């Protein structure tokens, strides 16, 4: 196959990948989009095979390795529970990162194969591209591992900070740049290894200071990095499909990070610098005991909801933790039977990754046209009888609108307090991630339901 | 005067960033999780680099260091390709509309 024809095929798979993302503009077209993505990938792999034309023993090995990886991936894809989706995505990012590192290493050790020159005499441009690809890939790899451990709960979600952390990161970042510079001057193997090692370290250090609820930003950011790493390798290998894909994925992750930051009204840098939501905010909790709180049981809640004409459900991370999405759907079914109008309101940063709540509700067979985004539904709270807050906290806190001193001031929130009554399912009065008290707990129209989200929802269903 | 092919690739890269920008903004927020898993799957097209790395060169020395890194990258990318597309498919299959009879 001629190089030109090959390039055209890569272009076609690039276009198919664009269509795959395009399909996600609505659930109707999304499945078709995914199919485009699969076809694009198949084309890229098959034409690469054919272009090599080496159908000897090596080919057999290749198929074996492909099968090992493929069956492992398929196994994971079918077994993984939907609640574990954030850590799965983080884990997958780490694999892309490591694969980029490996390909870069391979190109560095054997540049002839990729037409990049010869060992010790690699083209300068290719050296820069492959070192950048390897470095970003390495950061993606270890960063995603840390994100995975935090999301999985194998590592505390609390931010880990120490003095001079940011300077250390800056120093490490600069040293990578310097090393790449010297690598171009004297092509010493050890310099290349150092670049990768330092980048591994940098990945760890970048993610440990970032706390649990900032994970939506982190995971989108790592998504973006994995794209840039792929693009770097794409430049090295002069491969259009990789360049297009890298650019798509890179900008996709960047946009998601932006949306997540905006959902929290925080700058990207303040999230990256981390340390938010530590345990040092005791000052705000001192007046907790003085304010009266109304608490109720499943019976009261059922009574309120049964007599309501419209109910809005506000799910949050707590719903994912308690795996309450199915119980919730059953409750809603019971409500609908008695003629109550029910809709769901999703805050952009609810959960641990973009769209986390939507996937869980979809898993519980909630039709997606009953689920609304913040801007779509926020005005409806004023006309709704009951808001059922399950596992959400900070995203409903009216303080964000009223108190300029508050750390979450300016964050867009769901106007839950405007509804006639609020049912707040929570284990205790403890503050949410931002470490601040929720004003909503003490409102006249709020009824606290102290229990596990799933248990409470099931009990309410029984009482309906 | 001739244009360096690098400039062409750079053009493709930058134009693709713009395409990505507009396409991703049109993705509905409720599908952001599938968006992440599918971008993850397609970025594994890095497997083409891995295939070249593992197979090219003289076939007698299939297991020199450069090839081994290629094979390892194939395994990792393959996990991602199959895992990413299948889990996306699984998620997308769950997004249903309200039934008409309700």
Q: B67 to chain A: which residues are within 8 Å by CB?
A: 58, 106, 110
Collect contacts of A326-331 with beta carbons under 8 A, ≥24 apart.
A326/A364, A327/A454, A327/A457, A327/A458, A327/A461, A328/A364, A328/A390, A328/A457, A329/A361, A329/A364, A329/A365, A329/A366, A330/A457, A330/A458, A330/A461, A331/A457, A331/A458, A331/A460, A331/A461, A331/A464
Q: Cβ of A299: how many Cβ atoms within 10 Å?
A: 12
Identify the top-confidence range among A148-162, A435-449, B12-26, B65-79.
B12-26
Contacts of B93 in chain A (CB under 8 A): 31
Any idea of the CA torsion for A287, A435, A156, B32, to the nearest 10 degrees?
150
Alpha carbon distance A113, A242 (integer Å): 17
A394 among known catalytic residues: yes
Name the residue of chain A whose CA is nearest to B40's CA.
Answer: A93
Average pLDDT value for chain A:
87
The CA distance from B65 to the nearest CA of chain A, in Å, is 8
Segment A7-45, tens digit of pLDDT? 999 999 999 999 999 999 999 899 999 999 999 999 999
Do B46 and A100 make contact, defined as CB atoms within 8 angstroms? yes
Report how far apart, in Å, the C-alpha atoms of A446 and of each of A173, A304, A312, A405 are: 50, 12, 14, 24
**Which residues, 6+ apart, have CB-to-CB distance to A462 below 8 Å?**
A298
Percentage with pLDDT > 70 across chain A = 94
Chain B partners within 8 Å of A219 (Cβ):
36
The single residue listed with the structure tokens 């790899």 is A141
Inspect the interface and report whether the beta carbons of A41 and B41 lie closer than 8 Å: yes
Three-state DSSP at A162 gives: coil
pTM of this structure: 0.89
Find where tokens 């807050």 sit: A389
Q: Do B24 and A252 touch (CB under 8 A)?
A: yes
Does pLDDT of A239 surpass 80? yes
pLDDT value at residue B59 = 53
* A65 to B71: CB separation less than 8 angstroms, yes or no: yes
Report the alpha-carbon distance of residue A147 to residue A151 in Å, rounded: 6
Q: Is the pLDDT of residue A281 over 90?
A: no
DSSP per-residue string spanning A314-361: EE-HHHHHHT-HHHHHHHHHHHHHTT-EEEEEE-TT-SSSTTHHHHHH
At residue B55 the predicted structure's pLDDT band, cuts being 50, 70 and 90, is confident
How far is CA B31 from each of CA A237, A361, A362, rounded to the nearest angstrom? 32, 12, 10
Residue of B nearest to A40 (CA): B42
Q: Which residues of A touch B92 (CB under 8 A)?
A: 27, 30-31, 34
pLDDT band at A286 (very low <50, low <70, confident <90, very high): very low
- Contact at CB, A359 and B17, closer than 8 angstroms: no
Structure confidence by residue, pLDDT tens digits, A385-434 = 999 999 888 888 888 888 887 778 888 899 988 899 899 888 877 776 66
- Closest chain B residue to A99, measured at CA: B73
State the Cα–Cα distance between residues A266 and A412, nearest whole angstrom. Answer: 11
Would you give the distance in Å from CA A89 to the centre of its chain?
7
CB contact under 8 A, B37 and A89: yes
Of A394, A437, A439, A459, the catalytic one is A394
Q: Give the one of B32, B64, B80 whose C-beta lies nearest to A355's C-beta.
A: B32
Q: Please, which residues have CB within 8 angstroms of residue A268's CB and are 6 or more apart in sequence?
A: A217, A257, A258, A261
């Amino acid at each position: 196959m001629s190089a030109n024809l090959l390039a055209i095929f890569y272009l076609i798979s690039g276009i198919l990948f664009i269509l795959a993302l395009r399909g996600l503009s609505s659930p109707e077209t999304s499945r078709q989009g995914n199919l485009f993505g699969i076809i694009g990938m198949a084309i890229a792999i098959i034409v690469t095979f054919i272009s090599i034309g080496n159908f000897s023993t090596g080919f057999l090995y290749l198929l074996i390795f492909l099968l090992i990886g493929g069956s492992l991936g398929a196994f994971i894809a079918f077994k993984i529970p939907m609640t574990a989706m954030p850590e799965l995505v983080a884990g997958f990012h780490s694999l892309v990162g490591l694969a980029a590192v490996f390909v870069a290493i391979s190109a560095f050790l054997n540049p002839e194969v990729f037409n990049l020159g010869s060992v010790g005499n690699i083209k300068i441009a290719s050296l820069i591209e492959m070192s950048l690809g390897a470095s970003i890939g390495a950061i993606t790899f270890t960063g995603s591992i840390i994100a995975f451990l935090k999301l999985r709960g194998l590592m505390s979600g609390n931010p880990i900070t120490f003095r001079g952390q940011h300077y250390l990161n800056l120093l490490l970042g600069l040293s990578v740049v310097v090393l790449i510079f010297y690598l171009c001057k004297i092509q010493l193997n050890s310099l290349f290894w150092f670049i990768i090692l330092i980048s591994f370290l940098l990945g760890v250090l970048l993610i440990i200071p970032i706390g649990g609820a900032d994970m939506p930003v982190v995971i989108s950011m790592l998504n973006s990095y994995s794209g840039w790493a792929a693009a770097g390798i794409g430049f090295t290998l002069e491969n259009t499909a990789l360049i297009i894909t890298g650019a798509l994925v890179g900008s996709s992750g960047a946009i998601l990070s932006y949306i997540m930051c905006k959902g929290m009204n925080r700058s990207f840098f303040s999230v990256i610098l981390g340390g938010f939501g530590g345990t040092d905010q005791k000052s705000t909790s001192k007046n907790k005991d003085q304010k009266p709180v109304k608490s109720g049981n499943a019976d009261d809640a059922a009574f309120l909801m049964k007599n309501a004409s419209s109910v809005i459900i506000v799910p949050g991370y707590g719903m994912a933790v308690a795996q309450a999405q199915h119980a919730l759907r059953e409750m809603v079914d019971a409500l609908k039977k008695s003629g109550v109008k029910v809709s769901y309101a999703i805050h952009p940063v609810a959960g641990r990754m973009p769209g986390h709540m939507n996937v869980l509700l979809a898993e519980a067979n909630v039709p997606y046209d009953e689920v609304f985004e913040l801007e779509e539904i926020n005005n409806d709270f004023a006309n709704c009888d009951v808001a059922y807050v399950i596992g959400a906290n900070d995203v409903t806190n009216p303080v964000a609108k009223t108190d300029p001193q508050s750390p979450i001031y300016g964050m867009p929130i769901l106007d839950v307090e405007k509804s006639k009554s609020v049912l707040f399912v929570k284990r205790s009065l403890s503050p949410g991630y931002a470490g601040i008290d929720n004003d909503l707990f003490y409102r006249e129209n709020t009824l606290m339901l102290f229990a596990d989200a799933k248990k409470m929802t099931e009990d309410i269903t029984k009482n309906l | 005067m001739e244009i360096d092919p690098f400039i062409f690739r750079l053009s493709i890269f930058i134009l693709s960033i713009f395409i990505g920008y507009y396409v991703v903004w049109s993705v509905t927020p409720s599908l952001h999780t599938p968006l992440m898993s599918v971008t993850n799957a397609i970025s594994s097209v890095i497997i083409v680099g891995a295939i070249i790395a593992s197979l090219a060169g003289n076939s007698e020395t299939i297991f020199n260091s450069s090839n081994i890194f290629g094979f390892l990258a194939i395994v990792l990318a393959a996990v991602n390709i199959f895992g990413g597309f299948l889990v996306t498919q699984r998620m997308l299959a769950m997004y249903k509309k309200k039934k008409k009879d309700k």
